[in-house]
Structure 1
Amino acid sequence: MWWFQEGLCVLPMALVVWTAATFIFAYITAVTLRHVDPLVPYISDTGTVAPERCVFGIMMDVSAFLGIATMYVRYKQVQALVVPEQKRLLLLNRVGLLLGCASSFGMCVVANFQKTELFYIHLLGAILTFGMGALYVLTHTVLSFLMQPHTHGKNIFCVRLCLCVWTFSSIISMFVSSLIVYSSLPGVDIPKKLHWDPMDPGYAAHMASTVSEWSLAFSFISFFLTYIRDFKKINLRAEAELQSHTLHDSTHYNNAHQPGETSPLLAGSI
């Protein structure tokens, strides 16, 4: 058995690989067709113009679905490991699920509302994706701290803490540099500006903002790689149970069910 066949570890791995492929494929296509500059454009700029726009939207929607599935499985796993008396952990787990679902919903908004057309809706989607996603990372980092050493070792917590610091550092850097860009170019429609010249005012801040966005995206999806070891312990099992209907007419029952005959319906379950 290959390592990705153990338990459900294929789920977080598929999320990371698919999302990274979405970003990279859109970037290569947009640069090849000269729709964006090759030197670190915004992620959303690589999915603004057709044909990469359509592929970017579809692939991001799939990433959102994989994200919700992964976060839900993690939610159920933590719920099973925590005793009912640990109400603080159960509350944090529920909050984490809500934050994760909000982040995945934001991915769908980003994928389907381009910033060159509906900038404020696109911005709302980006805030949900990265803002709620960062809070999700923080929530499960705290959960890892509270659940060690009974659930996992200290190493997993340290890795998640480093990824959490990386995520919030990228958010702060992107926020500050974006403010500098907008203040340096008053009157310029920055959301529609897909090409930048090194001599443009605010170019350095723009580069810092785009690098921070890519850094933030990969720090967020890398967090799910830490779930692989935990998900190896989870097995998906389905049970089918067929309930029989009570027959009130005893005469009909006796005539229909002759001695020596058996029926799964009458047995009550399979």
Structure 2
Amino acid sequence: MWWFQRGVCFLPVTLVVWSLAAFILNYVIAVLLGHIDPVIPYISDTSSEIPESCLFGFMLSISSFFGLSTVYVRYKQVEALAIGGEPRLHRLNSAALVLGFLTSLGMCIVANFQRSAIISVHLLGATLTFGSGVLYILVQTAMSYYMQPRFHRKDILWARTAVGLWTLASVITMFVSSVILYDVLPGVDVTSKLHWRPGEKGYTAHLVSTASEWSLAFSFIMYFLTYIRDFQKLRLRVQAVLQSNHLYDYGHYNVRGHVHHGEHSPLLAGSI
């Protein structure tokens, strides 16, 4: 059995591979069609024109679904491991679930309300994605501190801490450079400016801001790679139970039966 076939580690792996493909493929198409500059545009700039906007919306919507699934499975795993454990871990786990759902919701909003359509809704989705995503990573890293060395080795904690620091550095740099960019270009609609010339006023701040945004996005994606070992310990079991007792008499076209109300169909059950 290959490593990606163990447990349900296909969830974070698929999320990472598909999200990377969405960003990179969209960027390549936008550059080849001349819709953006090849030197580090904003991620939203790569979906400003058709056909890349359609592709980006489609692929990012699927990424949000995989993100939601991964976040929920992670929540159920920690919930099962922390049975009878300290209340602090349960509270952090619940907070992580909410933040993960908000991050996935933000991704879905960004995918369906792109910058060229409704800028205010797009910015709301981006704020949800980045803001909730940063908090989700920090909360999960704190949970890893309380879970090691009982549930995973210390190297997982160090890996998540490193990615968490990478995320913090990226979001701080992006915020500061964006403030500087708007300060040096008063009255300029920076959000709709797609082409920048080297030496132009605000060009350096623009490059730092866009590079920080890409760095932040990649730090989100890379964080889910740290789930692979944990998800390899999980198994999915599909079980459908229909409580009914039917008697069919096809010879006389009569149907007699009794159905017990309260159908029970647990679709997903995980075991560790």
Q: Mean Cα displacement is larger for which, 143-152 or 232-241?
A: 232-241
What is the TM-score normalised by the length of structure 1? Answer: 0.89
Match of 1:106 in 2: 106
Listed one character per residue, the Cα deviations across residues 153-212 of structure 1 (whole Å, up to 9, x for unaligned) are 110000000000000100000000011111111111111100001122110000000000
Match of 1:253 in 2: none
Q: 1:106, 1:84 → 2: CA distance?
A: 33
> Contact (CA 8 Å) 1:9, 1:228: kept in 2 or not?
yes
Going from structure 1 to structure 2, the CA distance change for 1:191 and 1:117 (only over 3 Å counts) comes to farther
Q: 2:113, 2:243 → 1: CA distance?
A: 47
Alignment of 1:126-137 (within 5 A): 126-137=126-137
**Structure 1: which amino acid aligns with 2:20?**
A
Task: State, as a whole percentage, how many aligned pairs show the same letter.
Answer: 56
What is the TM-score normalised by the length of structure 2? Answer: 0.88
Match of 1:56 in 2: 56
Shift of 1:246: 10
**Structure 2: which amino acid aligns with 1:203?**
Y
Higher-Rg member (1/2) = 1
Q: 1:244, 1:38 → 2: CA distance?
A: 62
> Contact (CA 8 Å) 1:114, 1:122: kept in 2 or not?
yes
Match of 1:235 in 2: 235
Pairing 1:204–2:207 present? no
Q: 1:117, 1:62 → 2: CA distance?
A: 20
Aligned residue-pair number: 250
Q: Mean Cα displacement is larger for which, 121-130 or 133-142?
A: 121-130
- Structure 2 residue matching 1:236: 3-state secondary structure: strand
- Structure 1 residue matching 2:143: 3-state secondary structure: helix
- Structure 2 residue matching 1:240: 3-state secondary structure: coil
Match of 2:90 in 1: 90
Q: Mean Cα displacement is larger for which, 235-244 or 30-39?
A: 235-244
- Structure 2 residue matching 1:201: 3-state secondary structure: coil
Q: Which ranges in structure 2 are unaligned for 5 or more consecutive residues? A: 248-255, 261-272
**Structure 1: which amino acid aligns with 2:207?**
M
Match of 1:262 in 2: none
Match of 1:47 in 2: 47
Find runs of 4+ consecutive structure 1 residues off by over 3 angstroms. Answer: 244-247
Q: Which ranges in structure 1 are unaligned for 5 or more consecutive residues? A: 248-255, 257-264, 266-270
**Structure 2: which amino acid aligns with 1:154?**
K
**Structure 2: which amino acid aligns with 1:78?**
V
Match of 1:17 in 2: 17
> Contact (CA 8 Å) 1:134, 1:168: kept in 2 or not?
yes
Pairing 1:184–2:189 present? no
Which of the two has greater strand per residue? 2
Q: 2:65, 2:246 → 1: CA distance?
A: 41
Match of 1:121 in 2: 121
**Structure 2: which amino acid aligns with 1:149?**
P
Q: 1:35, 1:244 → 2: CA distance?
A: 60
Shift of 1:114: 2.3
Which of the two has greater helix per residue? 1
Q: 1:160, 1:86 → 2: CA distance?
A: 21
- Structure 1 residue matching 2:42: 3-state secondary structure: coil
Q: Mean Cα displacement is larger for which, 130-139 or 185-194?
A: 185-194
Going from structure 1 to structure 2, the CA distance change for 1:153 and 1:245 (only over 3 Å counts) comes to same
For the aligned residue pairs, the C-alpha RMSD in angstroms reads 1.8
Listed one character per residue, the Cα deviations across residues 60-94 of structure 1 (whole Å, up to 9, x for unaligned) are 00000000000000000000000234211111101
